Amino acid sequence: MERVFRIHRISRPYTGLNLATLALILPCFCLSLFCLPDATAAQDRAASNLRQFKAELHGVICKPCLKSLTDELRSTPGVHRTRIKRAPVKKGEKRYAFIKVDYEAGKLSRDDLVELIEFRDMTALSVEDTAQKSTR
């Protein structure tokens, strides 16, 4: 029994689909060119308004308490990043932790952050509040 195979014809890609795709992508690209500078200018203004709060935390320094403080700070408007790290201590020494908070100066102040910390029965010592350097 003889089998007959069809010969597949190699065809050119359908150009109508390519033109339709181009017609959808081109306006989006043009809009991004005109709107992008405004967006980056807003980011630059926000970046220039960033500050960094650093302190040592003393008092109630258990893991659940630090997690609760971290969650509250992250949910606070104006806070960009929060990092809390427990310091290694030797036997007999009191526990303490280090905190770093990146925040917007227009929405929060150093006193607001200290108040949030003291509300959790912790004390902020060696407080530093500096302007955040641009990473660009």
For residues 117 and 58, give the distance between their C-alpha atoms in angstroms, rounded to a whole number.
10
* Interval 104-126 mean pLDDT: 87
b/e code 94-120 from CB counts within 10 Å (16+ = b): eebbebebebbeeebebeebbebbeee
Partners of residue 52 on adjacent β-strands: 102, 130
> Is pLDDT at 123 greater than 70 in this prediction?
yes
CB 58 within 8 A of CB 125: yes
User: 50-131 maps to which CATH number?
Assistant: 3.30.70.100
Longest dimension (CA), the chain: 93
For residues 82 and 39, give the distance between their C-alpha atoms in angstroms, rounded to a whole number.
25
What letter represents residue 108's amino acid?
L
Interval 52-103: pLDDT, tens:
999 988 888 888 888 988 999 899 888 988 999 888 888 888 888 899 999 8
Interval 2-32: pLDDT, tens:
666 565 555 555 555 566 666 677 676 666 6
Tokens of 75: 């949910």
Element (H, E) at 32: helix 15-48
> What pLDDT band is residue 132 in, cutting at 50, 70 and 90?
confident
- The residue with greater pLDDT, 98 or 129, is 98
- 122-131 β-sheet, strand order: 79-86, 96-104, 50-59, 122-131
Per-residue pLDDT at 136:
44
* Interval 100-113 mean pLDDT: 88
Domain boundaries, the chain: 15-48, 50-131
> Is pLDDT at 44 greater than 60 in this prediction?
no
* Interval 111-120 mean pLDDT: 88
